[in-house]
Amino acid sequence: MENLYPTRLSTLGHPQRLAIFRLLMRRYPDKVPAGELATALGLKPSTLSAYLAALMQAGLVTKERAGTSLLYSVEMVEVRRTFDYLLLDCCRGRPDLCSATSGPVQATGFSPRDGKYNVLFICTGNSARSIFAESILRSEAGDRFEAFSAGTKPYSELNPFALEVLEQKGHDISALRAKNVAEFQGLNAPPLDFVFTVCDQAANEDRAAWSGNPVSAHCGLPDPVRAEGSNTEKSRAFSQTYGALRNRIKAFTSLPISSLDRAALQKAVDDIGRDYTGEPV
């Protein structure tokens, strides 16, 4: 088995294979279609196929078929074994050496800073899904959470259909504005406890790691801005997105966060992102 680890390291030594692996790690536990990988990384299908084959041969990535689509995911058990091999071999099991490489990790309860957890929701345009999530969390549990939203490529204005839905649901929209994620990465940015991406495109983008080691997860939803048809049909798409996010956020706010260790909390938010759907509410 140990002979496989050098092969894995060699496989990841190629920049584009590493880029595929990193994207799949960011999207874990999602299974990502090959076409989405190719688009996100700007790779030709034949080139992507060769790189994925190498990652699968190394045991780092798995593949499954869903209809006519091929879906790829990180083989997390083997990834963890590889990380364990590296750390145990390098550090000889000395936690005083190895612990500094991964940053602070809380083994017991996950406590809020200054009485509230800071939560950032990210999508590409910051015009609909992420402002839905920000508004819903503030309404559902504003006493325990400070909610923010931002976009990787924010629009200059918020979507009017999104604002209409929020007003219909009784949310105060006066303070909402489109923001760039850069506002939350500088020295004066609020320290973050949770970072959630709510669109696949934002999750696929490569960004520097967040300071403060926040818990992160992906809760991808289709973009209602792309909905076609009459205004009624478009409004229905925005209402469905709002409903799906509200279900996820209600599940999130019901978690006993302060009593969960980090591993259990990560699994819980991953499950919420994957399993919860919604209807117009």
Per-residue pLDDT of the chain (281 residues; tens, 9 = 90+): 667 888 999 999 999 999 999 999 999 989 999 999 999 999 999 999 999 999 999 999 999 999 999 999 999 999 999 988 877 776 665 656 555 444 444 434 566 767 899 999 999 999 999 999 999 999 999 999 999 999 999 988 999 999 999 999 999 999 899 999 999 987 888 889 999 999 999 999 887 778 778 999 999 899 999 999 999 999 999 999 999 999 999 999 999 998 998 889 999 999 998 765 444 33
Query: Of how many residues is the chain composed?
Result: 281
Provide the token pair at 204.
């696929």
Phi/psi of residue 28, nearest 5 degrees: -55, 135
Are the CB atoms for 167 and 173 separated by under 8 Å? yes
Q: Which residues, in sequence order, are bridge partners of residue 72?
A: 32, 63
Burial degree of 86 (CB within 10 A; 0-12, 13-18, 19+): middle
pLDDT at residue 109 in the model:
52
Q: Which amino acid, 201?
A: Q
Measured in degrees and rounded to the nearest 5, phi and psi for residue 95 equal: -65, -25
Token pair, residue 253, equals 């706010």
- The CA distance from 214 to 224, in Å, is 28
Q: Rounded to whole angstroms, how far apart are CA atoms 166 and 211?
A: 31
Query: Torsion angle, CA of 176/177/178/183, rounded to 10 degrees?
Result: -100
pLDDT at position 99: 54
Same topology, domains 4-101 and 117-275? Answer is no
Domain boundaries, the chain: 4-101, 117-275
Q: What is the pLDDT of residue 98?
A: 59
pTM for this prediction: 0.80
**What confidence score (pLDDT) does residue 265 get?**
93
Supply the DSSP symbol for 171. -
Distance of CA 160 to the CA centre of its chain: 26
For the domain covering 4-101, report its CATH number. 1.10.10.10
Q: Helix, strand or coil for residue 63?
A: strand
pLDDT confidence of residue 92: 63
Q: How far apart are CA 127 and CA 121, in angstroms?
A: 12
Specify the pLDDT at position 104. Answer: 42
**In the block, residue with structure tokens 């990502």:** 32
In whole angstroms, give the CA distance from residue 67 to residue 146: 41
Give the C-alpha distances (Å, rounded to integers) separating 160 from 166, 228, 234, 269: 10, 15, 11, 30
User: In angstroms, rounded to a whole number, what is the distance separating the alpha carbons of residues 90 and 9?
Assistant: 14
**pLDDT number for residue 2:** 61
Per-residue pLDDT at 100: 45
What is residue 281's predicted lDDT score, i.e. its pLDDT? 38
3.30.1330.10, 3.90.650.10, 3.40.50.1820, 3.40.50.2300: which CATH number matches 117-275?
3.40.50.2300
